[in-house]
Structure 1
């Protein structure tokens, strides 16, 4: 099977979308039925791709397609230029790593969409009035156009059933994100000026659903009440977004500019350093589609404090300190953090159902059900001379 994976997006720094795409490619290359993988990225994602270290498997080809970075221009590229790329590369199937406008008829082969969440409906303030309407149109168009929808969790499956037609929902299946223990860790701190101070960690984009202002207020409460050491830092790792100005203003007003550190674009080894050195990982999201940082933190042996929402329960049940965020959310979150810090250190948790080996087979099973048998046989014959090699697992 020859698979085209489309992952070109706005960000030049690594985020959950790109990490999903890179991990999915690693999964696919583990399966001998996958004879070729073509990964499509934008020109500004070249550095990110180099850092991903996808290995030297000869079945993988990475394409940096020329496109403008603006929203309209990128969406026009997906709709108009992607079919041309498909015609040239002749894959057996196209896998879209997030919702984008597609001319399915012009593509001419089966299409799969990874659905991470239903944020345009669940939390419209992530986008703003005009952008949320645009995102809803794109989302519904893509859901209706593709042949199959791979939801990253049961939580996302349930949301899809709520916001899509029954016909669309029938195309959906649950196919978890691939998340494995990171075997490499940076030897130097990625935190500027770090001198061994304790720190709390949150991995979150600057979006409304991540609830970063609440986390900052709870952190400040702990400092003011002397429930944590005055030298303690709060480290927030994630790309900037609609909430950045609000977050920075809050930090400034509370005089926390020396205590709160914002980072983005970390390589996987650097992120692993942060997980391994943190006192606790704190994630007070309002809603999520999967909960990647929860899984990564558990695999790294971190203590985790998180909001009690379905996505976090699905991936971290029995392993996390769950907080119900109600009217007294700031006090409750601060109390939960303090209680977690009093607990002993955690051991890494094993989550084999999220492993590349398991998911490689699930991807292949999904693809086989969509690609005509004749196409699979032709693809296997055409690539029978290729020697299959397990992809090298390196840092992102």
Structure 2
């Protein structure tokens, strides 16, 4: 287990960056961007150590590779189950914390995904969503069982919880009776790379992904809660109204992808829907910019990155009016009921048929999205660390000997 000792400091923070190492969706973005900006924003009296379970041979992103780190060599299932066991038994998890702290500096652990080991130090848990509680049918039964047992423990044992949206904050209070004072609302940010792309770059991307006609865009993992079925039915309505657009779907295949493909065939849209899979990150800003409209009819989102990314790139957005999406989208996007394909088609049709409306949305989007900044997310997170360290009594917790 490679260990690099951090410089002496008042507070040592161990940040779980596992999602940035092993994943590619929203949790990965959160862990990676938070790590990058904590390195830049952390005060001199705070030392940062990255932790992750090195189960797949993956490594830290290059820009994070020089930071001190601690790792474990477990496979993913052993890691998750052993974390749950540590909480159930109340036994401190070995190998995450340094074995001794001769200068008595306080240590704090931050879990950035829904997996918190039992540790004898102050802990912060970021909760992104409680989809498995609200829409259990959209999780595999094994993951649902794990979270049903583990999440209440993780939430109860954490000393502080970061909620990434007010909607998640409300879910925590309603479903788990978490005291409001324990939950800290800290919004995520948008990468500055998401901005309106130059016309030449937009044209190049159009030639690659949709050379023969304009397109509507969906971005996100292909799984049931993203509600592609409603988007497909809305596309059929738009085609019947004479719109020539293709639906371009960007994102990796999640579970239950096959019913989406079957729906495309059932509706006769084989030539009108393109599943592009994962695309290079550099392609996303011009893809957003070139879209006539970005659709996000999700049934549930803990935050909803594509809404803000699309706005930052100057794309008009239509999204559903449930979960965190109205909160994140503000008054810039058009909101519709998530399963109402007629309403979705009507909203998109307005954007396509009213150039003034589309132009206004393209102008307002980047200004609105600029409010969501990773440096501010990191600053608020550091303030939480410091407050928690001051509140914690060193004599009440002991490191493993």
Segments of structure 1 that go 5 or more residues without pairing to the other structure are: 377-396
CA distance in 2, matches of 1:153, 1:173: 10
Matches within 5 A, 1:180-329: 180-182=191-193, 189=205, 194-195=210-211, 197-223=213-239, 225-229=240-244, 232-325=245-338, 329=340
Segments of structure 2 that go 5 or more residues without pairing to the other structure are: 1-10, 87-91, 395-401
**Partner of residue 31, structure 1:** 41
Residue 371 of structure 1 pairs with residue 389 of structure 2: yes
Measured after TM superposition, the shift of residue 356 of structure 1 is 2.4
Answer whether contact 2:295 2:318 (CA < 8 A) is retained: yes
SS of match in other structure, 2:24:
coil
CA distance in 1, matches of 2:391, 2:22: 38
Residue 160 of structure 1 pairs with residue 199 of structure 2: no
Answer whether contact 2:296 2:318 (CA < 8 A) is retained: yes
Count of aligned residue pairs for this structure pair: 360
Residue 75 of structure 1 pairs with residue 89 of structure 2: no
Residue 93 of structure 1 pairs with residue 100 of structure 2: no
Residue 54 of structure 1 pairs with residue 69 of structure 2: no
Measured after TM superposition, the shift of residue 205 of structure 1 is 2.1
Measured after TM superposition, the shift of residue 182 of structure 1 is 1.5
CA distance in 2, matches of 1:194, 1:166: 48
Answer whether contact 1:92 1:375 (CA < 8 A) is retained: no
Q: TM-score, normalised by structure 1?
A: 0.80
What CA deviation, in whole Å up to 9, does each residue of 1:218-263 have, x standing for no partner? 112212x14311xx32122233223311112112333433322224
**2:367 pairs with 341, 344, 349, which one?**
349
CA distance in 2, matches of 1:31, 1:203: 30
CA distance in 2, matches of 1:183, 1:292: 11
**1:140 pairs with 152, 155, 167, which one?**
152
CA distance in 1, matches of 2:321, 2:31: 27
**Partner of residue 6, structure 2:** none
CA distance in 2, matches of 1:44, 1:30: 28
**Partner of residue 397, structure 2:** none
Measured after TM superposition, the shift of residue 183 of structure 1 is 5.7
CA RMSD of aligned residues (A): 3.1
CA distance in 1, matches of 2:332, 2:347: 14
**Partner of residue 66, structure 1:** 73
CA distance in 1, matches of 2:96, 2:178: 32
Deviates more, 1:313-322 or 1:201-210: 201-210
CA distance in 2, matches of 1:121, 1:191: 42
Answer whether contact 1:227 1:338 (CA < 8 A) is retained: no
Measured after TM superposition, the shift of residue 35 of structure 1 is 2.9
CA distance in 1, matches of 2:57, 2:368: 32
Cα distance, 1:321–1:66 mapped onto 2, change above 3 Å? same
CA distance in 2, matches of 1:175, 1:361: 10
Answer whether contact 1:148 1:172 (CA < 8 A) is retained: yes
The structure having more radius of gyration, on CA atoms, is 2
Residue 19 of structure 1 pairs with residue 26 of structure 2: no
**Partner of residue 7, structure 2:** none
Q: TM-score, normalised by structure 2?
A: 0.79
**Partner of residue 3, structure 2:** none
What CA deviation, in whole Å up to 9, does each residue of 1:154-194 have, x standing for no partner? 11111111101245x54211111122432686955398654
Deviates more, 1:351-360 or 1:211-220: 351-360
